[in-house]
Amino acid sequence: MFYYKNNELYVEDMKVADIALEFKTPLYIYSKSHFETQYKKLDEKITRRHLICFALKANSNLAVINTFAKLGAGADVVSAGEIFRAKKAGLDTTKIVFSGVGKTPDEIKYALENNILMFNIESFEELEEIEKVACLLNKTAPVSFRVNPNVDPKTHPYISTGLKKNKFGISHTQIVDAYKKASQMKHISIKGIQFHIGSQLTDVSPFFEAQIKVAHIMRELLSLGIKLDIIDIGGGLGVVYENEKEPDLDQYANFINEAFKDFPDSMIVLEPGRFLVANGGIFVTKVLYRKQNEGKNFIIVDGAMNDLIRPSLYDAYHKIEPVVKKNAKKITADIVGPICESGDFFARSREIDSLERNDLVSIFSSGAYGFTMASNYNSRCKPAEVLVDKDKVKLVRARETFEDLIRGETI
């Protein structure tokens, strides 16, 4: 949905340069069609009964959540704030799964009041807390346990979550005990099992390795009389940022069918985040200044690490191109923001068309973990977000103002 025509970048039927002129920079631009296409692609591949729960932390703008909600999606949330967002976006709260290692009692209460699909429990103490809160509310809490299958997802260490050294889930050696304990509790209703081994997996075989382990646990549970209605296989499907190969969705779907063939009645829950939104967004920023320090080129733009932190945080690669290509000669430069940190860069030693002041550049694949990780560091106002639908563009989050910066503060 992002393409060049006559050397000008378009999103769907609109020129990016026109949008940037109207809404200023720095700016996030999303393509609604891309979101819908990704969702349908995955939805059609999974042949078993399933529910796609969009992982909101990837992009929790209300308009984005609403786009998926309209297609029938549920949500994977990691805080009560995300439940609040899902509700505001018109998503059916009975399709919400609640993940995370540190749910507070208030968050548990809020989730129970909103009748979510289930809690993905990550510790024995959390189980006890959920039982306690459910008892106080005189409710039954639907739960599954997140198992840590100790599988190497072969991805960046910061986004690897299914190894025993990671903080996530309950060890596969203790998981059966967790179910036994839960089955004795009055206010707990056992629904399923969940795992999530990491993010940005382009090879789907580690998923299969984890699925096999989970199916093994399910057979053990069945022998104890514990039957699970839901198999939640987490998120983690990767996308192409640079030259990775796309994950093979046919193989992914086959693996699911194969691993869980003994459990044909259980519903599969998927929790994709990045896969649905990463390549549906660009971050547009404008060249402020250029300079050379001892032969090294710097291009200073008006966007910064507070707007898009992935390059700084994960050393992530994002393709960067001018919004209007002028067939300029190539230079090698660092593309950096105005923040007072050496880590404030979008690319280092990158070959790029030589740019001039006020030229617009697009940082691609910024639809996931872009705006949701934005902060106000250096008292910078968070950027605006717009959603393009064919030849229409809508402001879906206004650029912050100085007043937004100090909201709630007093002297």
Ligand X SMILES: *Cc1c(COP(=O)(O)O)cnc(C)c1O
Catalytic residues: 340
From the number of C-beta atoms within 10 Å of its C-beta (0-12, 13-18, 19+), residue 117 rates as: buried
Shortest CB 144 distance to ligand X, Å:
11
Q: Is 314 annotated as a binding residue?
A: yes
Interface residue with ligand X, options 26, 74, 142, 234 (CB under 6 A):
234
Q: How many helices and strands, by DSSP H and E, does the chain display?
A: 12, 21
Shortest CB 166 distance to ligand X, Å:
11
How far apart are the C-alpha atoms of 344 and 335, rounded to whole Å? 9
Counting every residue written for the chain, the total comes to 411
Question: Measured between alpha carbons, how far is residue 66 from residues 146, 321, 333, 369, 396 in Å?
Answer: 27, 30, 39, 18, 11
Tokens 């599969």 map to which residue?
A: 268
How far apart are the C-alpha atoms of 9 and 14, rounded to whole Å? 9
Is residue 193 at the binding interface for ligand X, with CB under 6 A as the rule? no
Is residue 235 at the binding interface for ligand X, with CB under 6 A as the rule? yes
How far apart are the C-alpha atoms of 40 and 297, rounded to whole Å? 43
Interface residue with ligand X, options 271, 302, 307, 344 (CB under 6 A):
271
Shortest CB 55 distance to ligand X, Å:
3
Strand partners, 114: none
Pairing of strands 170-171, 392-397: unpaired
Nearest CB to ligand X, comparing residues 277 and 323? 277
Is residue 196 at the binding interface for ligand X, with CB under 6 A as the rule? yes
Is residue 148 at the binding interface for ligand X, with CB under 6 A as the rule? no
Shortest CB 238 distance to ligand X, Å:
8
Nearest CB to ligand X, comparing residues 234 and 337? 234
Is residue 150 at the binding interface for ligand X, with CB under 6 A as the rule? no
Is residue 316 at the binding interface for ligand X, with CB under 6 A as the rule? no
Interface residue with ligand X, options 169, 192, 272, 367 (CB under 6 A):
272
Tokens 């297609």 map to which residue?
A: 71
Pairing of strands 281-293, 27-31: antiparallel
Pairing of strands 320-322, 188-194: unpaired
Of the candidate spans 16-24, 222-230, 252-260, 270-278, the one that interacts with ligand X by CB under 6 A turns out to be 270-278
Interface residue with ligand X, options 38, 60, 99, 297 (CB under 6 A):
99
Q: Is 289 annotated as a binding residue?
A: no
Give the CA angle between residues 124, 58, 88 to the nearest 5°.
Answer: 85
Of the candidate spans 105-113, 173-181, 235-243, 345-353, the one that interacts with ligand X by CB under 6 A turns out to be 235-243
Of the candidate spans 15-23, 32-40, 220-228, 230-238, the one that interacts with ligand X by CB under 6 A turns out to be 230-238
Give the CA angle between residues 320, 322, 325 to the nearest 5°.
Answer: 135
Q: Is 39 annotated as a binding residue?
A: no
How far apart are the C-alpha atoms of 110 and 116, rounded to whole Å? 9
Contact 393, 12 (CB under 8 A): no
Question: Closest by alpha carbon to 177, among 147, 149, 197?
Answer: 147
Over the window 47 to 66, marking each residue x when it contacts ligand X by CB under 6 A and - when it does not, the resulting string is --------x-xx--------
Shortest CB 234 distance to ligand X, Å:
5
In degrees and rounded to multiples of 5, residue 184 shows phi and psi of -90, -5
Interface residue with ligand X, options 79, 123, 150, 199 (CB under 6 A):
199
Is residue 236 at the binding interface for ligand X, with CB under 6 A as the rule? yes
Shortest CB 76 distance to ligand X, Å:
5
Cis bond upstream, residue 26 (ω within 30): yes
- The residues binding ligand X (CB under 6 A) are 55, 57-58, 76, 99, 196, 199, 234-237, 271-275
Binding residue ranges for pyridoxal 5'-phosphate: 236, 271-274, 369
Binding residue ranges: 236, 271-274, 310, 314, 341, 369
Binding residue ranges for substrate: 274, 310, 314, 341, 369
